[in-house]
Amino acid sequence: MQNRAALGIAYLCLGILIFSLQDAIIKAVSGSYPLTQVVATRGVVAIPLLLAFVHVESGLGSIFARNVWPLAGRALLLLVAYTSYYMAFPALPLADAVALYFTVPLFMLALAAPLLGEAIGWRRIAAVCVGFIGVMVMLRPGAGLFEPAALLSLFSAATYALAMLMARRMGSDVSASVMSFYQNGVYLIGALLIAGFSMPPASTRQATSRSNS
């Protein structure tokens, strides 16, 4: 049991490291490429990796799960969470956007009892409060951070927390790799749809290209 807990902690640390590298890359390109292109590229690159993980963990047949709609709903929540998170990147320093996102445990703690029926002990509440104080120290309230873009990071944290609680509820029936596969598929489809609806008409693009030339 202790070995499994240690392995889980190691996986969590590795995941946070990868997410941090991803955030730095997306922050670097956010001013040069549309957000939809960044998310779509991420989705395309992840497809073969996720298929390999699904095959190893539970077999490719597990993709056709019975509870497709809850998986799709959770994936849609994560699409909203990450899109709003990345939308904050051009307007906020990376450290500030990430610090606001670290309020995820607060939202999870607030939602765990009503949604999962889990008891929240005072030690967990104290630990999360200490973490929140740390976030406030990083943000320096009153130093000019609280602009509209900061609300995007907070909204992202709330929707991400809800998606994580859904994952905990579904975890006994669906493997983590299958959840990630659905999540990535919704990312890709959502990014392509948003890009299609937000693309300017052909006449506008031609006029812009003529003026630039």
Tell me how long the chain is.
213
Distance CA 163, CA 166 (A): 5
Distance CA 203, CA 161 (A): 42
> Are 58 and 178 spatial neighbours (Cβ–Cβ below 8 Å)?
yes
When pLDDT is averaged across residues 167-171 and rounded to a whole number, the result is 83
Q: Three-state SS for 40?
A: helix
Distance CA 26, CA 29 (A): 5
- pLDDT for 168 equals 84
pTM, to two decimals? 0.73
- 107-166 pLDDT, tens per residue? 888 788 777 777 777 787 787 778 777 777 766 655 554 567 778 888 898 899 999 898
Percentage of the chain exceeding pLDDT 90:
5
List, as one string, the DSSP characters of 45-110.
Answer: HHHHHHHHHHHHHT-GGGGS-S-HHHHHHHHHHHHHHHHHHHHTTTTS-HHHHHHHHTTHHHHHHH
Phi, psi of 60 (to 5 degrees): -65, -25
